[in-house]
Structure 1
Amino acid sequence: MSTLEIIAVLINIIGVWLTTQRIRWCWPVSVVAVLLYAWIFYDAKLYSDMLLQVIFAFLQGYGWWRWSQGGLDNGKVHVARLPLRTAVLSLIVGALAAVLLGSLMAHFTDAAVPWLDASLTAFSLVASVWAARKYVASWWLWIVLDCVYVGMYLHRDLDLTAGLYAGFVVLAFYGYRAWRRDLLSQEARRGVLSGQIGVGG
């Protein structure tokens, strides 16, 4: 456990909490957190995770832009259902990316857990894009991923980071409930039928 890891944990918690509240400042805060973790994961030889953090830094800009589009509800962004077609296609892309990245990491690096790390990296990118597009279902994917991350970080002796991701699981459940409540409220105001096709609502 290092001072850098402690700082990264605290900033990450702030970023995720702002996300659950649908506050756009979650994105710049998260940029700082992911850059700190890129260095931490490099030291731990979790190269896929390091790469993920670098890509995350760019995704934060995309998320900031997406969340700046459209109207606000008392200073908070509107959320949406995940279209079924989008869900299927993005999960297929995630699986293909996991196979490609896992193969590269296994053959060309000394990554500690190349296939698991690559899979988590690929599907974390899927979850991040879903979150940037304000899909409620993004929280369900984060819950699954964060549970697996806890085990991987414990295996790599990143105990504080494992604790952080355990906390993320709790925050993700809270985020899902909050976003779903807001989604139903939005739909009620617009007169949208609750049976609209979508995932995670």
Structure 2
Amino acid sequence: MELNTLLEIISVIFGILYLVLMVRENIWCWIFGILSSAITVYLYTHVTLYLEAGLNVYYIIAGFYGWHYWLNHKIEDSSITPVVNWKINYHVITLISCGLLSIVLGYIMDNYTDSERPYIDSHLTVFSFVATYMEAKKVLSTWYYWFVLNAVSIGLQFDRGLYFFSALSIFYTVMCIYGYRRWKKTMVTQSQIGELPEPVR
């Protein structure tokens, strides 16, 4: 077995553990996410998906931030960080600004690098930055963003020969549904005990 294939399998295993623990709101998810992303940086660079590689550097940084945030923002007398909502106007601003930035970044990558699928790559990268931040803050609608992002990633990764990553994205897409339902249940519980935060920007 080639080294890159072995690394891809290891990264996938860590990625699965990350998502399962994320859905279950277990803080240890961030450790496996950091490890998975570290391996992925190397693999994406190898297949010239530079924005995806850079995105995974951000995932590593976000992993440390997520760990710190979840550790220091727990519900009183609980090990769980509260689930929150964003107001609709912030989603509108996010979609428009990220869409425009993705087009500009895609143009740059298309004309000044040898990046494959630059516009798809740029959209996935920009929107994943926002979705990861939402995830760290435990914003419920992060699961909507990740459902679309993971679904699109399936084809991109398959196209670049990253078949294990493509299979992982299929798993991620399906798990987004379960993740949303699980976090929604947590939010309902918070509401019932009077610990539901106000919607935030």
TM over 0.5: yes
Gap regions ≥5 residues in structure 2? none
Partner of 2:27, secondary structure, is: coil
Q: Is contact 2:84–2:199 with CA below 8 Å preserved after alignment? A: no
Specify the alignment match of 1:75 in structure 2. Answer: 79
The count of aligned residue pairs is: 197
1:4-30 Cα deviation digits (max 9, x unpaired): 000000001001111101111111221
Match of 2:143 in 1: 139
Matches within 5 A, 1:54-69: 54-69=57-72
C-alpha displacement at 1:197, in angstroms? 6.5
Quote the offset at 1:93 in angstroms.
3.0
Quote the residue 2:171 is aligned against.
167
Matches within 5 A, 1:31-180: 31-72=34-75, 74-180=78-184
Return 5+ residue gaps in structure 1 as ranges: none
Residue pair 2:85, 2:141 contacting (<8 A) in 1 also: yes
Residue identity over aligned pairs, in percent, reads 28
Q: Which residue of 2 aligns with 1:15?
A: 18
Most deviating of 70-79 and 133-142: 70-79
Cα pair distance change 1:65/1:154, threshold 3 Å: same
Corresponding letter in the other structure for 1:87 = H
Q: Report what 1:26 is aligned to.
A: 29
Q: Please, what TM-score do these two structures have when normalized by structure 2?
A: 0.90
Report if aligned partners of 1:21, 1:76 keep a CA contact under 8 Å in 2. Answer: no
Please say if residues 83 and 186 of structure 2, whose CA atoms lie closer than 8 Å, have aligned partners that are also in contact.
yes
Native 8 Å contact 1:38 1:50 kept in 2: yes
